[in-house]
Chain A
Amino acid sequence: MELDEVVCFSRFSRVAICGGTHGNELSGVYLVREMQKAERKAKERGNDMEVITVLSNPRAVQRGLRYIDTDLNRCFTHAMLSGSNTNDAPYEIIRSRELNALLGPKGSRDAVDLVCDLHNTTANMGLCLISYSDSDWLCLHVFRHLQRQMPDVPTRFIHFNATNKESYSLDSVGKHGFALEAGPQPHGVMRSNIYTTMKMGVEHVLDWVCLFNSGFVFEGGSVDVYTVVRNIDYPRDRDTHNITAAVHPQLQDRDFCLLYPEDPLFLTLSGETLRYKGKEPLYPFFINECAYYEKGIAVSLARKRRVAIPAIRVQTEQEQQAKKDECTSEEEEE
């Protein structure tokens, strides 16, 4: 990639803001509700961009649960989206297909340009932008913008390397997408500081999109990316599978503080310290996330690296037309 290369992307015409994908993660639930109230005054942002607000899992929201039958945010693989609805299909599978029809179809030209999915965590993670890619320049530029606009909020980019596995979350339905995760906040609770962070974050995302659509050239640079390497489960009882230790007090709340070999990981109920046995120092996060007990994750570990990002801007109308002509002639040749 040349340093003076400017990468062009087509303009954003539709952006989706989704809350309540997990019904007890309240910042997104209330933020989407407030945005929907404001929408009734019918004030669109300029540049003919449509902002779609969605309450992803209304039944779970109503009951204050993460999910009714199964985790909605794992229901967006192509296989799960393409089956037919049977009588005993889990509620979330039916819902994922509805959301795919509304915001997708995933992988098609009709999908929304950007999905921003709002989440909370009980872990002390500040604000995180979570993505499957470390080379989606749009998402990385949005992240850099958030960092610069919110210097008082610790803001980080987490990359789930899904090259082997297919993407399964709601944000994968859009042409571009990411989750915006804010913590710490207990599930079922709304903390005003966390709500404010989320609200500001979403406003800055939408501001960035408008700026992008208006033709602004975003200079290149570099950002820090945390790429997930592995997860560590709690020690468990062989027979009951119940956990037998808690996250060590010296690790608790220390998300993104480098974990070195032999650092404490867990404290057993009988007072024994269990230590990190890896060879490489890694960055822990999602430390003691409530919802991950059942997924077998006490802490996730990531490598940090600096990623160079090119300058980007929106495609001009002429460039878009030229591209269309190119595609049409290719189709004719076929």
Chain B
Amino acid sequence: MLSCARRVAIFGGTHGNEMSGVMLVNLWVQNNTEVQRKGVEVQPFITNPKAVEKCTRYVDTDLNRAFTPENLSTLGGGDLPYEVRRAQEINRMFGPKGSPEAYDVIFDLHNTTSNMGCTLLLESSKDHFNLQMMNYIQKSIFPASCLVLLNEHPLLKYSTSRSVAKHPVGLEVGPQPQGVLRSNIFESMRDILKHALDFIELFNAGMEFPPCTVEVFRLSERIDYPRDDNGNIIAMVHPNLQDCDWEPLNPGDPMFQTFDGKTIHYQGSGTVYPTFINEAAYYEKQQAFATTRRESLVASAIRKA
């Protein structure tokens, strides 16, 4: 159990064209008053400065997939892709991943073109500290909502920049086009971080958080666009599904629409909750949307040791 959450980082610009995080971190690097809390060292940090400068998702390879054990240990220096070198550097500064010296908490700020609202990204169903934090955030912002997406799927999970920390927390806010800064999206992200840092301060001050139930959406499957033999997309997300992140998708519901107007229906065995519907960055990752299943997790009581 975490004795104290003393070292916290806020990552922005892991994808250089996701503007809320870039702007927030730049703001806090210049003036960190807003993110200071008693007893915590909070470090705002731009993870992919070259991509930020070019306002592109990445330069050579996706930084948020680059923190694999192979990448973190490989030699090669200047020959390595930019983001692999960067991952190694970040691992040195905020890790090493898996060691006692690693940062306690890292918040990683992202935007999506999908209509996901505010979403917290959880990497382990057994991370009671994170579950309690997410519960606290949800209660604090009520009636505004913030859903929790759990990616623990052995095949679909990936090595994120935040995974360097003991308690990685992803924050995804949308919809926002890449390269665009929308004021409401920016302020939502700012507000969530405020509550997250408040939680950490309360925890460090010795507050006990009793057991609680947190509803999560567990990542189940990735669904690609229908493609022809050459790999070209031959249908679009159906207008009935577009923007309906987190709403139930039932077998037989419209899913895609071909260019000449025909409907392709969802053929799954049961109701799922789709998310990341029509995310720009996932066209190249062969994903039109992801399906999730609703689940209730019980978080144990936590208190600073």
Interface residues of A (CB under 8 A from B): 30, 33-34, 64, 122, 184, 186-193, 195, 199, 242-243, 246-249, 252, 267, 269, 288, 290-291, 293-294
Given A187-B177, A189-B113, CB of A269 within 8 Å of CB of B184: no
Measured between beta carbons, the chain A residues less than 8 angstroms from B23 are 246, 269
Stretch at the interface among B192-200, B234-242, B267-275: B234-242
Stretch of B37-45, B279-287, B290-298 on the interface side: B279-287
18 extra interface residue pairs, beta carbon distance < 8 Å, beyond A195-B236, A267-B183: A64-B283, A122-B177, A122-B180, A186-B177, A186-B178, A186-B180, A189-B177, A189-B279, A191-B242, A191-B278, A195-B259, A242-B26, A246-B186, A247-B181, A249-B184, A290-B177, A293-B55, A293-B180
Residues on A with C-beta less than 8 A from B236 are: 190-192, 195
Picked from A30, A242, A249, A291, the residue with its CB within 8 Å of the CB of B183 is A249
- Judged by a CB distance under 8 angstroms, whether B179 is at the interface is yes
- Residues of the A chain whose Cβ atoms lie less than 8 Å from the Cβ of B55: 293-294
Q: How far is the CB of A243 from chain B (nearest CB, A)?
A: 7
A294 to B55, CA, bound (A): 10
Q: Is the beta-carbon distance between B182 and A246 smaller than 8 angstroms?
A: yes
CB nearest to A188 among chain B residues: B280
Complex: how many Å from CA A122 to CA B19?
Answer: 14
User: Would you call A290 and B26 a contact (CB within 8 A)?
Assistant: no
A193 surroundings in chain B (CB, below 8 A): 239, 242
Given contacts A243-B181, A290-B178, contact A34 B259 (CB under 8 A): yes
12 A-B pairs with C-beta separation under 8 A? A34-B260, A186-B180, A187-B280, A190-B236, A190-B237, A193-B239, A243-B181, A246-B182, A246-B183, A247-B182, A247-B183, A269-B27
Residues of chain B lying within 8 A (CB to CB) of residue A184: 177
Most buried by A among B113, B236, B242, B278: B236
Bound form: Cα–Cα A191–B114 in Å: 11
Asked if A188 contacts B281 (CB within 8 A), the reply is yes
Cβ-closest chain A residue relative to B180? A290
Nearest chain B CB to A61 CB, angstrom units: 12
Nearest chain A CB to B41's CB is how many angstroms away? 23
- Cα A288 to Cα B176 with chains together (Å): 11
Mask: chain B, 1-35; 1 = CB below 8 Å from A; 0 = not = 00000000000000000000001001100000000
Interface size (B, Cβ < 8 Å)? 32
B contact residues around A248 at 8 Å (CB): 183
CB distance from A94 to the nearest CB of B (A): 22
Label chain A's interface by main secondary structure.
loop
Cβ-closest chain A residue relative to B236: A192
A186 touching B280, Cβ below 8 Å: yes
Contacts of B177 in A (CB 8 A): 122, 184, 186-187, 189, 290
Min CB gap A68→B, angstroms: 13
The yes or no answer to B257 lying at the interface (CB within 8 A) is: yes
> Whose C-beta in chain A lies nearest to the C-beta of B56?
A65
Shortest B290–chain A CB gap in Å is: 16
Kindly list chain A residues whose C-beta atoms are within 8 Å of the C-beta of B280.
186-189
**B232 on interface, CB distance cutoff 8 Å:** yes
Shortest distance between the CB of A190 and any CB in chain B (Å):
5
Q: In the complex, what residue of chain A is closest to B278 when comparing beta carbons?
A: A189
- Please measure, in the bound complex, the distance between the C-alpha atom of A119 and the C-alpha atom of B3, giving whole angstroms: 55
- Looking at the assembled complex, report how far the CB atom of A245 sits from the nearest CB atom of chain B, in whole angstroms: 8
Contacts A191-B242, A242-B26 given; does A252 touch B179 at CB 8 Å: no
Minimum CB–CB distance from B15 to chain A (whole Å) comes to: 12
Which of A187, A192, A199, A246 is within 8 Å of B242, CB to CB?
Answer: A192
Instruction: Write the residues of chain B forming the contact surface with A, with a CB cutoff of 8 angstroms.
Output: 23, 26-27, 55, 113, 175-184, 186, 232-233, 236-239, 242, 257, 259-260, 278-281, 283-284
Q: Which residue of B lies closest to A66 (CB)?
A: B179
The residue of chain A having its C-beta at the shortest distance from the C-beta of B176 within the complex is A186
Which chain B residues lie closer than 8 Å to A242 at the CB level? 26
Task: For A183, give the chain B residue with the smallest CB separation.
Answer: B177
A174: min CB distance to chain B, Å? 26
CA distance A246 to B184 in the complex (A): 9
A residues less than 8 Å from B27 (CB atoms) = 269
Q: Which B residues lie within 8 Å of A30 (CB)?
A: 233, 259
Inter-chain CA distance A186–B282, complex, in Å, is 13
In the assembled complex, which residues on chain A have CB atoms less than 8 Å from the CB atom of B186?
246
B250 → chain A closest CB, angstroms = 20
Task: Report the 5 A-B pairs with minimum CB-CB distance, sorted nearest first.
Answer: A186-B177, A188-B280, A246-B183, A290-B179, A192-B236
Is B257 a contact of A192 with CB atoms below 8 Å?
yes
Q: Is the CB of A188 within 8 A of B181?
A: no
- In the complex, which of the residues A189, A199, A248 has the most CB atoms of chain B within 10 Å of its own CB atom? A189
A291 to B23, CA, bound (A): 17
Q: Quote the shortest CB–CB distance from B286 to chain A (angstroms).
A: 14
B259–chain A nearest beta-carbon distance, Å? 5
Which residues of chain B are within 8 angstroms of A195 by Cβ–Cβ distance? 236, 259
Closest-CB distance, A29 to chain B (whole angstroms) = 10
B146 to nearest A CB, angstroms?
A: 19
Interface centre among B27, B113, B281 (most CB of A within 10 A): B113
When distances are taken between beta carbons in the complex, the residues of chain A under 8 Å from B175 are: 186
Judging by beta carbons under 8 Å apart, are A187 and B259 in contact? no
Q: Smallest CB–CB gap between A17 and chain B, Å?
A: 15
Q: Which of B176, B178, B239, B242 contacts A188 (CB 8 A)?
A: B178
Cβ A187 vs Cβ B284 within 8 A: no
Instruction: A122 to B177: give the CA distance in the assembly, Å.
Output: 7
